[in-house]
Amino acid sequence: MSVSTSQNYSEIIDAVLARHRNDPTRLMQILRETQETLGWLSLETLMGIARRLHQPLARIQGVAGFYSFFHTQPLGRYRVLWSDNITDRMLGGGALMEEMCRRLWLEPGRVSEDGLVSVATTSCTGMCDQGPAMLVNYRPITRMSTQRVAEIVDLIRGEVPLEQWPAEFFRIDDNIRRRDILLGNRLAHGEAIGATLARGPQATLDEIKHSSLRGRGGAGFPTGLKWETCRNATGTGDASAHYVVCNADEGEPGTFKDRVLLTTQADLVFEGMTCAAHVVGAKRGMLYLRGEYRHLLDHLNDILARRRIERLLGDNILGHADFSFDIEIHLGAGAYVCGEESALIESLEGKRGIPRNRPPFPVTHGYLGQPTTVNNVETLAAAGLICAYGGDWFRTIGTEKSTGTKLISVSGDCTMPGIYEYPFGTDVAEILADCGANPENTQAVQISGPSGICIASDEFRRRIGFEDLSTAGAFMVFDNHRDMFEVAHNFAHFFAHESCGFCTPCRVGTTLLKNCMDKIEAGHGSEYDINEIFRINHLLQTTSHCGLGHSACNPMFDTLQKFRPAYEQRLHSLAFEPAFDLDAALSQARQMTGRDDRAAHLEDSVEVKP
Ligand code: SF4
């Protein structure tokens, strides 16, 4: 590195660190911004950051190595990541990636020799309604086709900057197909905050509790109880404070409703966060945006800036002397596990996103050990409406145990994929009819993504709601010609890829599951392997540290129960066949030692050459 380049390099790191006040809790943003400027995170870069932050290098390396969107090896100047979700595959994403690699003379997962381009896969990018999708330098491109692949390969070969690529490539449609109270919201800016300030924090909390609002991220925890516990919890130490966190780490494959809410109703979400802050007594809020939604960052920051001008954020909100609150956006970096609230908080603190031991729960010991309410994007939007219109109004929508509406992200085999907002209690058959799925020809719907439930056609009268089908929102439709084994196979790879590796049962168990499914797919499976899946399921359910491990076997479990022939037709051998051929693996050692006699082979093993 030349002196001038070296100076330039130091100046880049210094400028990024200065923007973040040399604050180690902002390490994620520091690494991201440094990488955006320098292209990748070399050892020298990480050492420079560690030195300036007075942190051990191992800690900085640990964080950089944890997130799939941070790169500690050089990548191509054009980094292409194809969404590997099952619905993208059903739309031909896998074949298009191969076509791109063929045209670029490149193997998937490799960088071209001239350092120009790399092509690989990533987990679902949240564009399932307009796939096949991919990211180029983390900017999404949807509706990929053979022609678009050819055009993009030409642009890459010509080294055309992304800013000069056709704008149409980067168009993202909202695809809102059905609106109700959230997507049809017409609240004036500040209306919910004004009502909250007029009512006061305790009375607002009472309205939220009265509304029976429950979390929309899948678990369905009562929002009023969460806010109340946070409000009543006492912070500790000099940094005593309360925090509001919006979980926009929408990583469950097949879910993209938060992307649309943040595109079209961001004011309502921020309004809900501000009302929550008034109830729990927070001065600071953070919205954790998944790295795949990087394209929304400027849009959201613009709205926050406007809301500060409108005095809906900052000091003395709406002239109220006792209420100051502000929000910042924190960008994730490609780790599904950060959707779990305690892992998300670790990430917010600039650490690896490993779920914490609970209790204590984040609501009493969250961000920096302080009381923190973490709510889903959709929950906060609904809370904003309740603050404006009251709990009674909200209770008139939905069912007794599931009040309000639910946003459903529909993808797969239907003519109108997109976002549908329904009152809770709507049945699956109605959603299928609305989205253009052929009821005679639909064999299954995966509800709430791989960690959710797969329902067969005889269950289509089941209802969306906490009393029946609880969901974070994904709704993937599979018609009769789909192979449900392949669906589960894709999900097994997803969990093995996304296991954070912290606890052994999940780290090893998800890989064993993937290997079992690979083996069955390759035609080497037997009944033994199917029983093995059930054994691994028991292990994961009983010993995993967090929900990812608990639910990793769900797709295999459901499909084995409901679509067992899809597995059995692959079991060419009913006798046990080991997944690992130890004798073959030792062949290199035999060659090196010049031995091929019977004693150099395992007992009952392959034929020995004379
Ligand atoms: Fe990480 Fe899996 Fe253990 Fe959760 S269960 S902590 S994702 S290894």
- 106 in ligand 1 pocket by Cβ < 6 Å? no
Q: Whose CA is nearest to atom 1 of ligand 1?
A: 500
- Determine the pLDDT at residue 29: 97
Q: 502 CA distance to ligand 1 centroid (A)?
A: 5
- Judged against a pLDDT cut of 80, whether residue 576 lies above it is answered with no
Task: Domain ranges for the chain, please list them.
Answer: 3-66, 78-173, 178-395, 405-482, 485-568
- Determine the pLDDT at residue 596: 83
Q: Residue type for 51, please? A: R
Q: Which fold has domain 178-395?
A: Rossmann fold (3.40.50)
What backbone phi and psi angles, to 5 degrees, belong to 566?
-60, -30
Contact predicate 277/285, CB 8 Å: yes
- Determine the pLDDT at residue 574: 61
Q: Looking at domain 405-482, which of 3.40.1160.10, 1.20.1250.20, 2.40.50.140, 3.10.20.600 is its CATH number?
A: 3.10.20.600
- 337 in ligand 1 pocket by Cβ < 6 Å? yes
What backbone phi and psi angles, to 5 degrees, belong to 227?
-65, -40
Question: DSSP string spanning 306-369?
Answer: HHHHTTSSBSSGGG-TT--BEEEEEE--S-GGGGSHHHHHHHHTTS--PPPPSSSPTTTS-GGG
Q: Residue type for 297, please? A: L
Contact predicate 548/521, CB 8 Å: no
Name the nearest CA neighbour of 345 among 370, 379, 382. 370
- Judged against a pLDDT cut of 90, whether residue 505 lies above it is answered with yes
Q: 341 CA distance to ligand 1 centroid (A)?
A: 13
- 544 in ligand 1 pocket by Cβ < 6 Å? yes
Confidence of residue 573 (pLDDT cuts 50, 70, 90): low
The CATH class that applies to domain 485-568 reads mainly alpha
Q: 355 CA distance to ligand 1 centroid (A)?
A: 7
Q: Are strands 442-447 and 474-479 parallel, antiparallel or unpaired?
A: antiparallel
Q: Are strands 284-289 and 326-331 parallel, antiparallel or unpaired?
A: parallel
* pLDDT tens string 327-349: 999 999 999 999 999 999 999 99
- 546 in ligand 1 pocket by Cβ < 6 Å? yes
- 548 in ligand 1 pocket by Cβ < 6 Å? yes
Residue 528 has which token pair? Answer: 């033994």
Residue 425 has which token pair? Answer: 């209690």
**When comparing pLDDT for 215 and 595, which is higher?**
215
The architecture (CATH level 2) of 78-173 comes to: 3-Layer(aba) Sandwich (3.40)
What backbone phi and psi angles, to 5 degrees, belong to 537?
-60, -45
- 376 in ligand 1 pocket by Cβ < 6 Å? no
- Determine the pLDDT at residue 609: 46
- Determine the pLDDT at residue 179: 98
CA 473 from chain centre, in angstroms, equals 13
The ligand 1 atom at the shortest distance from the C-alpha of residue 540 is 5
The ligand 1 atom at the shortest distance from the C-alpha of residue 549 is 5
Q: 545 CA distance to ligand 1 centroid (A)?
A: 5
Q: 338 CA distance to ligand 1 centroid (A)?
A: 11
> Percent of the chain at pLDDT above 70?
96
Question: If you count them, how many residues does the chain have?
Answer: 610
Q: Whose CA is nearest to atom 4 of ligand 1?
A: 546
The ligand 1 atom at the shortest distance from the C-alpha of residue 502 is 8
Average pLDDT over residues 131-157: 97
The ligand 1 atom at the shortest distance from the C-alpha of residue 500 is 1
> Percent of the chain at pLDDT above 90?
88
Give the mutation target among 502, 507, 511, 539 for probing the ligand 1 site: most ligand atoms within 8 A of CB.
Answer: 502
The ligand 1 atom at the shortest distance from the C-alpha of residue 355 is 6
Give the mutation target among 345, 494, 507 for probing the ligand 1 site: most ligand atoms within 8 A of CB.
Answer: 507
